[in-house]
Amino acid sequence: MSVESLPLDAARIRQDFPILSQTIHDNQPLAFLDSAASTQRPQQVIDAVSHAYQNDYANVHRGIHLLSERATALYEEARERVREFIGAGAASEVIFTAGTTASINLVARSWGDGNVSQDDEILLTLMEHHSNIVPWQQLAERTGCKVRFAPIHDDGRLDMNGFAEMLNDRTRLVGVASTSNVLGTVNPIAEIAALAHGVGAKVLVDAAQSVPHTTTNVQDWDVDFVAFSGHKMLGPSGIGVLYGKLDLLEAMPPFLGGGSMIHQVTVDGFEPGDLPARFEAGTPPIVGAIGMTAAINYLQDIGLESIHQHERELTEYAHEVLEAEGGVRILGPSVEHKGGIVSFVVDGVHAHDVASIVDRHGVAIRAGHHCAMPLHKRLEVTASNRASFYCYSTRSDVEQLGRAIHEVKRKFRR
């Protein structure tokens, strides 16, 4: 049996996360079910960040003193670890950014401004996060292009026939989430990419909800851009990744100007640097990258396939627990078509009231539109609750959520 297929011991893993040992609200154990928004950090990541600040910190790529050389080596080691983690062909295809949102904006500004014009089209899906909608709407304001939205089925899966019908010779880019941050829907990225490339369109994948949870190979996907964040995969906040195919990145102009992204500057102009430096202006997220290395090491020690299977089991259990309560509408597809996310609506109770009450019972879940207003309009709900799982989540967490939802219903019946 390979390491990747070993059962996951979530109870032992929880011991690596100091924040999860606390009790809240009258000694309630903390059931943290908001990992789709941001994950917690294991002690190994906390220690790596602390060690870097205490021993190895200096600015990178600039100094010839020992600390700068150490920091530079660790920073570039992080880039190589990310390259391996996502199956990229070259380290120069890995750009460090401030997060998924920054990565998508980089593409919209640099690639979009240079390759999209009036009457062109950007094709998204109705399940996209605002971070994969608004940058393209801003591009439309600048260029006159049109942003279109592929439909979804009532069960929350992408309507692939409708998507294919909307592709045409004016489609310049397809932007799609690999996993919906609300519904948990897992989209067929390789199939989407093949269809998009068939009409000459590029493909950008918002992989914030998939890279941390299952094995990713960007070359197998054959997509042009992939964006994801460190804080959703046990790493520090303030760091993200943009993967881009080498030929595309080499043809794109810098988005931000300043130090580090130049080859030379004169009073008459500047010459941009080589990849990846041209897209990493200023002081980059040095310690964030070091922390990301520790997070990747931690995830790979557990095994991504073990994490994926663990989350699938918890998702199935959560469906059972919530459905047994009655009066709870679960949004999105059946378990076999989704990741470790369960969004739901309690009949007659606003999502914010639900979240407030379950919080008093020690359960942290999300409430609102989850930065996906068009999707909620399609679902005909103003807001929903979302429970999301990770390697440290347990069946006890799900049971605690079930008891809390029971209390919500009891209070509102009363």
Do 295 and 318 lie in one domain? The reply is no
Contact between 25 and 33 (Cβ < 8 Å): no
Positions in the chain short of pLDDT 50:
1-5
What's the rounded Cα separation, in Å, for the pair 304 and 316?
18
Q: Which of 287, 225, 255 is nearest to 100 (CA)?
A: 225
Q: Is residue 15 located within the same domain as residue 86?
A: no
Query: By C-alpha distance, which of 206, 169, 175 is closest to 193?
Result: 175
Task: Indicate if 356 and 375 belong to the same structural domain.
Answer: yes
Any idea which residue has 């008093």 for tokens?
360
Contact 317, 398 (CB under 8 A): yes
Longest CA pairwise span in the chain (Å) = 74
* pLDDT at residue 4, rounded to an integer: 43
* 100 and 148 within one domain: yes
Residue 6: what pLDDT?
A: 63
Specify the amino acid at residue 230: G
Helix (H) or strand (E) holding 85: helix 66-86
Question: Tokens 């197998």 label which residue?
Answer: 220
Domain around 171? 46-300
Q: Are residues 307 and 373 in the same domain?
A: yes
Let me know whether 241 and 131 are in one domain. Answer: yes
Residue 51 corresponds to which amino acid?
Answer: H
Domain boundary among 239, 267, 300: 300
Select which of 58, 91, 134, 371 is catalytic.
371
pLDDT given for residue 62 in this prediction: 82
Question: Which region, left, alpha or beta, applies to residue 388 given φ > 0 means left and ψ of -120 to 50 means alpha?
Answer: beta
Catalytic, 145? Answer no
Domain boundary pick from 300, 328, 356? 300
- The reply to whether 311 and 288 lie within a common domain is no
Structure tokens at 357: 């009450």
- How far is the C-alpha of 414 from the C-alpha of 410, rounded, in Å? 6
Nearest of 395, 232, 387 to residue 313 by alpha carbon: 395
Q: Mind listing the pLDDT tens digit for each residue in 217-251?
A: 999 999 999 999 999 999 999 999 999 999 999 99
CA triple 164-155-5, angle to 5 deg: 90
Residue 37, in any domain of the structure = no
Instruction: Give the chain's count of helices (H) and strands (E).
Output: 15, 17
Q: What's the total number of domains in the chain?
A: 2
Task: Say which CATH number the domain at 13 has.
Answer: 3.90.1150.10
Domain boundary among the residues 300, 321, 344 is at 300
Q: Does a structural domain hold residue 40? A: no
Answer positive or negative: Cα dihedral of 123, 126, 128, 132: positive
Question: Beta-strand (E) ranges in 223-313?
Answer: 225-229, 240-244, 262-266, 269-272
Residue type, 384: S
Evaluate whether 93 touches 235 at the Cβ level (below 8 Å).
Answer: no
Domain identity same for 277 and 256: yes
- 243 and 257 assigned to the same domain: yes
38 within some domain: no
Whether 41 maps to a domain, the answer reads no
Cβ contact 405:328 at 8 Å? yes
**CATH number of the domain where residue 269 is located:** 3.40.640.10
Does 322 share its domain with 279?
no
Could you report how far apart the first and last alpha carbons of the chain are, in Å?
53
Residue 291 falls within a domain, yes or no? yes
pLDDT the model gives residue 214:
98
278 and 235 in one domain?
Answer: yes
Q: Are residues 138 and 268 in the same domain?
A: yes
